[in-house]
Structure formats: structure tokens, C-alpha cells
């Protein structure tokens, strides 16, 4: 892991604050709905579990092919297909999955079914994961034959719940819009010009070039004697499914309220999650302000997706919250769907 910190030339705070607001709208981001859904942080461990919620925002029957990707080794699990009727929502708990069962209880706030688990029309069989899974979930809209389609029908959220505690943390899935000209093959083209891999050019919105987030400076603390109860973490993953097995390299710039810039970098496998204090031990001693503005981008050309996380320790335990970052710029990426569940849509 490369670690460095330096002061760069001043940058106008006006530009720093307004930069995220000038983002190009046609890119992988937090649209109302999309043809690709990415849940960047999914856990099914003894400490945390994840409830996945997906809704079909369209007025017609829609299908999606989903894959879990293990963050420890990049292993892509066998795909499964969900089918949702017009404007139908659904959910499942990652560690339990969801069976097809017509006898599921209705959603009532009574003892035994307080969380309404399994209520509603089943979307199809969803396999369970775990018992020590930490990684992400990638879903692509398909047609009845199993071919990718740019229907922009789906939206989603994920809720992480601490085991044996009332702490929950929720974030919005990254929704990538589909474009006209999708040739329905197993190669998904995020932005870019026509190429050998993408003869028709872009089939989906491009990946962001940079991500931006504002954090409290004490959340980056690691120096002895500082308050360590407030911690910031970042999750990075390839914008294209699996990233072709290439490692993740992240370049990060932190800007304080006095327009000082400090840069550092980190590297990891195909899913990178770490507390900022562990990425760079130098930065907390030099921040010099209450708030910081953080920019992150790929350091090796592999377009990235990003999710922020805050953990705060208290008397009753640790409280967690997620922060959706702001994307800017455009980068091209390619996803190749292997082991397709084609023909399983019903």
C-alpha cells in the first residue's frame, strides 16, 4: 500500500464546493431507475446481515439476473433470476435468501412476523449467502430469454442490521441506465466509442471518473490521544463486473477548509473496504480543520464505484450510517457476463 501526504497549490473553495453539482447527468449514479443495479456493500456474517429491496418501477413484467461477488477473493457466485410484475417491490435477507412459497404470511405487525419477511409475491428463488460473506451484489435487467436489455426498470436499496441490536444502516443502490442500441449479448459496454469488444459503442451509461464526499475531520483520526469513536470507511469496487480480476488502485485527495490538499493512495483486491485511518496514518495529524472534502479516482485505469460509511461508538454499541458519494466525469468499462442464467426467466 502506497502512502503519501503533501500540500498542493491552493484550490478555490468555491470550485471545491460546487464541483459535485456540475456532474454530467448521463453516468452511473443514483438515477430514479436503471438497467443495472449495484449494491456495493453486502454483509452476511455473525455480526451483520443485509436486507436487499428491489422495485420494478415500470408498468410491465421485468426480469433481472443477479450475482453476488465475494469481496475476499473476487469469486462470482452462480447467477439467479428475479421477475417482478408492474411496479412490484420485493425483498430478501442475504443470509436466508428467499424460497418460492405460496404460503408466505401476509405482512402484519404481529409477533412472529414483525419484519414481514417473505411477504408479497415471490420474485423467484433467491439463494442464501454466508456465513461469512462480505462483498457486493450486481443485477442486470434481462428479457424473458435471458438477454440483457436496456429497460431501465429497476431501483433498489440495501439495509444492514447489526445482529442482536437495533442498529441499522441503509443506502441507495447505484443505478446504471441502459441506452438505445443495446445488442443484447453478454458483453455490457459502459460508455466509450465503438471497439472490438463493443462494436455498437455504449450500451449503458458510462462509469464515473471521480467520486466526491464531505466528511468530519475527526472521522479520519488515528493518532494516539485522538477520539477514535468516530470512524470513516470507504468501499470501492469495479464499475464493470469483476474488473477482469485486476487489482483496485485508488488515488485520494483530501482538501481541508484552508484549501490545503493532501494526497495518498491505496491498493487492494477486486473489492476494497477500509477505514481511512488505516489507509493513511499521516493524514490525521495534518488536517487542520473540522470538515474535509475528499476526492477519489482510479489509479490504474479500472473505473470504480464508491460508497462511504461512518461508524460511531457509543454507550449502547456502534452506530453505522452510509454516505452515497457524488460522481463526476466519465470513464468507459466493459462487463462480460459469464455463466449466464439465460433461459431461466419466467
Residue whose C-alpha is closest to residue 90's, from 120, 45, 60, 58: 120
CA 41 – CA 274 distance, rounded (Å) = 12
What is the per-residue pLDDT for 88?
96
Using DSSP's 3-state secondary structure scheme, residue 241 falls into: helix
Sheet holding 80-84, edge to edge: 80-84, 62-70, 133-142, 36-44, 174-176
- Position 128 pLDDT exceeds 50: yes
C-alpha dihedral sign at 7, 309, 22, 204 = positive
In tens, the pLDDT along 213-224 reads: 998 887 776 544
Q: How many residues does the chain have?
A: 346
Give pLDDT tens digits for 100-111.
988 877 777 666
Q: How far apart are CA 306 and CA 41, in angstroms?
A: 10
Angle (CA) 145-147-148 rounded to 5° is: 140
- C-alpha distance from residue 280 to each of 4, 7, 55, 106 (Å): 8, 15, 39, 49
Rounded to whole angstroms, how far apart are CA atoms 214 and 224? 24
3-state secondary structure of 222: coil
Residue owning grid cell 415500470: 58
pLDDT exceeds 50 at position 240 = yes
C-alpha cell at 62: 421485468
- Placement of cell 475527526 in the chain: 218
What is the share, in percent, of the chain residues with pLDDT greater than 90? 53
Q: What's the pLDDT at 117?
A: 80
Euclidean distance between CA atoms 138 and 35, whole angstroms = 11
52-56, 161-165, 180-184: segment of lowest average pLDDT: 161-165
In this prediction, residues 239-244 reach a mean pLDDT of 72
Neighbours of 281 (CB within 10 A): 13
Helices (H), 40-103: none
List C-alpha distances in Å: 49 to 93, 111, 126, 162, 165: 7, 21, 15, 7, 11
Of 35, 28, 55, nearest to 324 by C-alpha is 28
Q: Which residues of 242-265 are buried (b: 16+ CB within 10 A; e: fewer)?
A: bbeeeebbbbbbbbbeebbbbbbb
The number of angstroms, rounded, from the C-alpha of 292 to the middle of its chain's C-alpha atoms is 22
Give the helix/strand (H/E) hosting 276: helix 276-279
Residue among 213, 288, 284 at smallest CA distance from 257: 288
Q: Is the dihedral of CA 141, 145, 150, 152 positive or negative?
A: negative
Q: Determine the pLDDT at residue 288.
A: 74
pLDDT tens by residue, 62-106:
999 999 999 988 888 999 999 999 999 999 999 999 999 888 777
- pLDDT tens for 10-26 read 333 333 333 333 333 35
Contact yes or no for 189/150 (Cβ under 8 A): no
Domains and CATH numbers, the chain: 13-22+208-329 (2.60.290.11), 36-206 (no CATH)
Radius of gyration of the chain (CA): 21
Distances (CA, A) of 307 to 133, 278, 345: 18, 17, 31
For the chain, helix (H) and strand (E) counts, in that order, are: 2, 20
Q: Average pLDDT of 254-268?
A: 88
For residues 103 and 118, what is the distance between their CA atoms, to the nearest angstrom?
A: 9
- 106-115, 239-248, 261-270, 278-287: which has the highest mean pLDDT? 261-270
* 323 DSSP assignment: E
Per-residue pLDDT tens for 28-59?
555 689 999 999 999 999 899 999 999 999 99
HSE-CB of 109 using CA atoms within 13 angstroms: 0
Provide the pLDDT for residue 19. Answer: 35
Amino acid at each position: 500500500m502506497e502512502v503519501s501526504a503533501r500540500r498542493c497549490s491552493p484550490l478555490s473553495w468555491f470550485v471545491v464546493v460546487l464541483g459535485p453539482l456540475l456532474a454530467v447527468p448521463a453516468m452511473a449514479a443514483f438515477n430514479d431507475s436503471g438497467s443495472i443495479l449495484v449494491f456495493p456493500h453486502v454483509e452476511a456474517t455473525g455480526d451483520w446481515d443485509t436486507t436487499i429491496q428491489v422495485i420494478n418501477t415500470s408498468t410491465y413484467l421485468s426480469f433481472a439476473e443477479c450475482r453476488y461477488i465475494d469481496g475476499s477473493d473476487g469469486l462470482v457466485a452462480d447467477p439467479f433470476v428475479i421477475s417482478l410484475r408492474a411496479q412490484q417491490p420485493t425483498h430478501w435477507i442475504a443470509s436466508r435468501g428467499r424460497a418460492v412459497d405460496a404460503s408466505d404470511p401476509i405482512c402484519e405487525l404481529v409477533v412472529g412476523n414483525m419484519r414481514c419477511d417473505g411477504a408479497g409475491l415471490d420474485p423467484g428463488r433467491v439463494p442464501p449467502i454466508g456465513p461469512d460473506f462480505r462483498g457486493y451484489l450486481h443485477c442486470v435487467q434481462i428479457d424473458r430469454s435471458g438477454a440483457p436489455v436496456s429497460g431501465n426498470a429497476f431501483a433498489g436499496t440495501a439495509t444492514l442490521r447489526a445482529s442482536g441490536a437495533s442498529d441499522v444502516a441503509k443506502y441507495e443502490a447505484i443505478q446504471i441506465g441502459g441506452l438505445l442500441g443495446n445488442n443484447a449479448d453478454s458483453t455490457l459496454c459502459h460508455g466509450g466509442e465503438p471497439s472490438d469488444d463493443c462494436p455498437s459503442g455504449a450500451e449503458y451509461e458510462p462509469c464515473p471518473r471521480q467520486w466526491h464526499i464531505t466528511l468530519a475531520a475527526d472521522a479520519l483520526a488515528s493518532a494516539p490521544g485522538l477520539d477514535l469513536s468516530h470512524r470513516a470507511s470507504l468501499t470501492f469496487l469495479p464499475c464493470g463486473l469483476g474488473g477482469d480480476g485486476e487489482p483496485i488502485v485508488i488515488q485520494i485527495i483530501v482538501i481541508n477548509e484552508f484549501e490545503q490538499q493532501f494526497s495518498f493512495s491505496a491498493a487492494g483486491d477486486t473489492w476494497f473496504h477500509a477505514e481511512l485511518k488505516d489507509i493513511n496514518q499521516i493524514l490525521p495529524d495534518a488536517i487542520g480543520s473540522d470538515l474535509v472534502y475528499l476526492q477519489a479516482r482510479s489509479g490504474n485505469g479500472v473505473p470504480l464505484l464508491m460508497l462511504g460509511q461512518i461508524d460511531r461508538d457509543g454507550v449502547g454499541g456502534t452506530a453505522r450510517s452510509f454516505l452515497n458519494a457524488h460522481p463526476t466525469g466519465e470513464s468507459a468499462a466493459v462487463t462480460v457476463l459469464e455463466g449466464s442464467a439465460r433461459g431461466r426467466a419466467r
